[in-house]
């Protein structure tokens, strides 16, 4: 299964924006949605091709509400993600999966301690919800000799590694 994770822009509530609009809601209706990180929507598709096709269908919404699109294809890497551009390049055979690991974007993952109040209770009271980990400040690095530099922008316990295309790396 190919995993897709949409990372929302800071000024929107991504899940609300996607599910409040008929076209995107219908496109997502057959998927089991989750939120692995704060302000994200994740789902599984059957292949990179299906993931790219879904992203193309959602493009109008992605441009407006999404900062980053991540695609994880287990046949390429079990624990590293691909950017949308790189996933499209692999799907269309413009780049081979073996050539995808040089340019990287590392996200720090800040874990949220405790819970936060959510004022959406029907009786007017606050409901406590568990806070999700948050992706923070990406760091662009280049892999050399099979390793990549450590994430050093913040003190974090975990990182998310995203393979990006050379053109995305040079931005």
Residue 146, pLDDT > 90, answer: no
Q: What is the pTM assigned to this prediction?
A: 0.88
> In the prediction, which pLDDT does 122 show?
57
Instruction: Please report which confidence band the pLDDT of residue 115 belongs to, taking 50, 70 and 90 as the band edges.
Output: very low
Map residue 91 onto helix, strand or coil: helix
Report the DSSP beta bridge partners of residue 129.
Answer: 116
> In the prediction, which pLDDT does 131 show?
81
Q: What phi and psi, each to the nearest 5 degrees, are found at residue 80?
A: -115, 145
For residues 151 and 106, the answer to whether their CB atoms sit within 8 Å is yes
Q: Average pLDDT in the 132-154 region?
A: 92
DSSP state of 36: S
Indicate the domain borders of the chain.
2-170
Residue 48 has which token pair? 């990179």
Residue 14, pLDDT > 50, answer: yes
pLDDT in tens, 34-73: 999 999 999 999 999 999 999 999 999 999 999 999 999 9
> In the prediction, which pLDDT does 130 show?
74
For residues 164 and 100, the answer to whether their CB atoms sit within 8 Å is no
Range list of H helices, the chain: 14-19, 22-28, 48-57, 59-65, 84-91, 166-170
For residues 53 and 30, the answer to whether their CB atoms sit within 8 Å is no
């Amino acid at each position: 299964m190919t995993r897709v994770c949409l990372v929302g822009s800071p000024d929107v509530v991504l899940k609300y924006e996607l599910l409040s609009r008929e076209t995107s809601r219908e496109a997502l209706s057959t998927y089991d949605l989750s939120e692995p990180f704060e302000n994200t929507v994740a789902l599984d598709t059957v292949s990179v091709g299906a993931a790219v096709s879904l992203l193309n269908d959602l493009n109008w919404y992605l441009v407006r509400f999404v900062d980053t699109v991540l695609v994880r294809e287990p046949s390429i890497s079990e624990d590293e993600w691909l950017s949308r551009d790189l996933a499209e390049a692999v799907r269309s055979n413009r780049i081979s999966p073996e050539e995808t690991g040089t340019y990287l974007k590392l996200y720090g993952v800040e874990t949220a301690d405790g819970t936060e109040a959510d004022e959406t209770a029907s009786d007017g009271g606050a409901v406590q919800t568990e806070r999700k980990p948050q992706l923070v400040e990406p760091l662009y690095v280049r892999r050399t000799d099979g390793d990549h530099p450590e994430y050093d922008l913040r003190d974090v316990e975990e990182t998310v590694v995203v393979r990006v295309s050379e053109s995305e790396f040079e931005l």
